Chain A
């Protein structure tokens, strides 16, 4: 039994990060909000660095519910897209050059999205992680949680249903 020699770690990481960066940077609203993604293997954590323009209540101050909702929705959509792309990235089948040139894969479309505001969003960085509870050919269901200082004390959570892009483009 022989098996292919594993690729050097730098090559694998470079390919994964390049795919993720083009996916995230290709969406103007993600750049507008300043959302970034931290990747460990296939796991993504959304990061929303604090910025003054995200504030909804200057008195407290607290993050705007709309900024939090958008952060959760972005994390869900990127999480879904990333899971869709992962196998292609791993097999080296994804056309990275085309993607970097702006030819991005079709993104899932939000059907419905419900946000629960559990605590006031403080003027500091937020983190979010998405869990795909169901991923079918046409529909997907995703749960997202966002927290700030303590993972166990989320400031918001959301559940959304998404229409998946057709595989044939």
Chain B
């Protein structure tokens, strides 16, 4: 299936000793876990994705502009497939960052609408929110933006598996 995570990465508690259970600590921990998750995915690494932020059921990822990712040689616009990969990874990361989601997650389906071409030369950011979780399914919403944050490049909705029954 789609984005997954090796279970050991999630299972390893990071820096829980001698730290108070504050929101700030929790956020830092979430960010580290998400960064570790992204770093473990060869395809996301190949696309140069990096984590900007992560919270309870949310994630923001960035992908730099790269001429190798161009889909329309005439305009230099990034291929929709690269945006899909960013959205998929970001939704997977947000699902895993949700407190009720334990272990591996995989994409069940993902729909993307392309509202406008991303501006060539600018990095693309994806922001995903896990807005509902059941025992078996996580529901995600995401958008992709470039430097002009008011006019999103794309929006996505998706469902992901939760638990170990992927």
* Residues in chain A within 8 A of chain B (CB atoms): 26-29, 31-33, 52-60, 62-71, 73-74, 102, 104, 106-107, 109-117, 119-121
Contacts and interface: CB of A to CB of B under 8 A. Distances in A.
B88 A104 contact: no
Interface in B73-88: 73-74, 78-82, 84-88
Among B2, B72, B85, B166, the most chain A Cβ lie within 10 Å of the Cβ of B2
B46 A53 contact: yes
Interface residues of B, number: 48
Interface of A is mostly: mixed
A54 to B, nearest CB: 6
A114 B72 CA distance: 21
B63 to A, nearest CB: 10
A57 B70 contact: no
Nearest to A31: B68
17 contacts: A26-B73, A28-B79, A29-B70, A32-B68, A55-B43, A57-B41, A57-B104, A58-B41, A60-B4, A64-B41, A66-B44, A69-B84, A70-B80, A104-B73, A113-B80, A113-B112, A113-B114
Contacts of B68: 28-29, 31-32
A66 B85 contact: yes
